[in-house]
Structure 1
Amino acid sequence: MATGTHEASVKKGVNIEIVSIIWMVIEAAIAIGSGIIAHSLSLVAFGADSVIELVAGGVLLWRLIIEVQGASLARVKKAEKASSWVVGIALLALAVYIAVASIVKLVTHQGAETSLLGIGLAMASGIIMPYLSRAKKRIGSEIGSKALRSDGSCSIVCAYMAWIVLAGVVLTALLGWWWIDAIAALGLIYYVVKEGWEAVQGALGQEDACGCCHD
């Protein structure tokens, strides 16, 4: 790829990452806020995952900006590795929290209330994140960035999580199933653990690791 074309693609990567970070901020705020109000564990967990992805996205944005500026990436790789550990451990801890909280809610028969805001957020995220995923993977391939391609994989996982949350809040709203929120939250554990383990693998330098942490 010609230098000029490569630089243009890196700038596109910066722009798409900025859009992604803005959406993560909105997603986290609405999911956590509406989840607390509605006592919805699945929404709060979804928002917590968005906060963690926001941290990883911020590190990746820094990495792209430095490449745009033509600086060495050696120091950024160290920061990405440290971020991998933080993100990976945080995600695995989140999975443990979801499991324990879900079991407690099932045992005590605690159900979530209807959250129209949560339904709207999950629908929007389920539409937006696949678009961001495709854009990140395409640009990552253009500039040879495994980190950006991995971030695209994380974005599609976020979409899967949104669809699970949507199913939970819709069934709660329509059928009043008190237990479905805890079950939906348990359904998120697979994706949270998968992201967390891939981030840890990235910190350990595994070649095929996801987690948006190495290039």
Structure 2
Amino acid sequence: MRQHAISVRKGVYIELISVFWMIVEAVVAIGAGVAAHSLALIAFGADSVIELVAGMVLLWRLTIEMNGASVYRVERAEKVSSWVVGVALWLLAVYIVVAAIHEWWTHHGAESSGLGIGLAIVSGILMPILSGAKKRIGSTIGSKALRADGACSIVCAYMAWFVLGGVVLTALLGWWWIDSIAALALVYFVVKEGFEAIQEARGVPDACGCGCHDD
């Protein structure tokens, strides 16, 4: 029980770091995207807003358990968290598709922004670390919602590197369409993870059919 409580506390700390960074990421990415007329950066910021909502709900769920709530309350919080994370992932998938189609239709590729590129580099390094921690702690305390939030974090890392890749390839080769193609490649992963989180919220047994406990 003591080890479980320690793991829950670690989960709270990880989510606090994640929420703080999502606030920074959303403000900087959207601001830089608007300034540079960069749809890729604005999409990156929108992803951060969705992750911020999911992270705040997960923080609430973990705080409830850390404060010694009953098993019933923790289970209810877990289901609510799974719903929010799952819906947030699906909203992210919709946004990726709409943004990619808009880029393709308008021939509007990624644009250069020093602030945005710096943010993307930091996110590309930090978010896989946070994702791994969330998945490990989620497995330890039996929270599939926390594991799904880890999936949100790794999507953020992918988007960060796609923003960078799009800028570089557009600048070097004139491939204005590359970032929209790369973004569309994420949709299957995002929808799948969102489906698993919602199945968990509905109480479907073994909803995570991807061998997730082996991460």
The separation in 1 between residues aligned to 2:88 and 2:131, in whole angstroms, is: 22
79-88 or 157-166: which moved more? 79-88
The separation in 1 between residues aligned to 2:164 and 2:9, in whole angstroms, is: 34
Q: 1:204 to 1:79 in 2, by over 3 A?
A: same
Residue identity opposite 1:118 in structure 2: G
- Which of 45, 48, 51 is equivalent to 1:50? 48
Match of 2:131 in 1: 133
Match of 1:208 in 2: 207
TM-score calculated relative to the size of structure 2: 0.79
Q: 1:42 to 1:133 in 2, by over 3 A?
A: same
Shift of 1:70: 0.7
Does the CA contact (< 8 Å) of 1:40 and 1:181 recur in 2? no
The separation in 2 between residues aligned to 1:200 and 1:106, in whole angstroms, is: 31
91-100 or 44-53: which moved more? 91-100
Match of 2:29 in 1: 31
The separation in 2 between residues aligned to 1:49 and 1:143, in whole angstroms, is: 26
Residue identity opposite 2:162 in structure 1: I
Q: 1:37 to 1:80 in 2, by over 3 A?
A: farther
Q: How many residues align?
A: 208
Match of 2:178 in 1: 180
Q: 1:98 to 1:155 in 2, by over 3 A?
A: closer
Matched, 1:9 2:23: no
- Which of 1, 16, 19 is equivalent to 2:17? 19
Does the CA contact (< 8 Å) of 2:144 and 2:200 recur in 1? no
TM-score calculated relative to the size of structure 1: 0.79
Q: 1:186 to 1:12 in 2, by over 3 A?
A: same
Aligned-pair identity in percent equals 69
Shift of 1:51: 1.5
49-58 or 31-40: which moved more? 31-40
16-25 or 172-181: which moved more? 172-181
Matched, 1:96 2:115: no
SS at match of 1:133: helix
Does the CA contact (< 8 Å) of 1:45 and 1:185 recur in 2? no
Matched, 1:106 2:120: no
Match of 2:119 in 1: 121
114-123 or 137-146: which moved more? 137-146
Match of 1:213 in 2: none
Q: Which runs of 5+ in 2 are unaligned?
A: 210-215
- Which of 38, 41, 48 is equivalent to 2:39? 41
Does the CA contact (< 8 Å) of 1:42 and 1:185 recur in 2? no
114-123 or 98-107: which moved more? 98-107
124-133 or 78-87: which moved more? 78-87
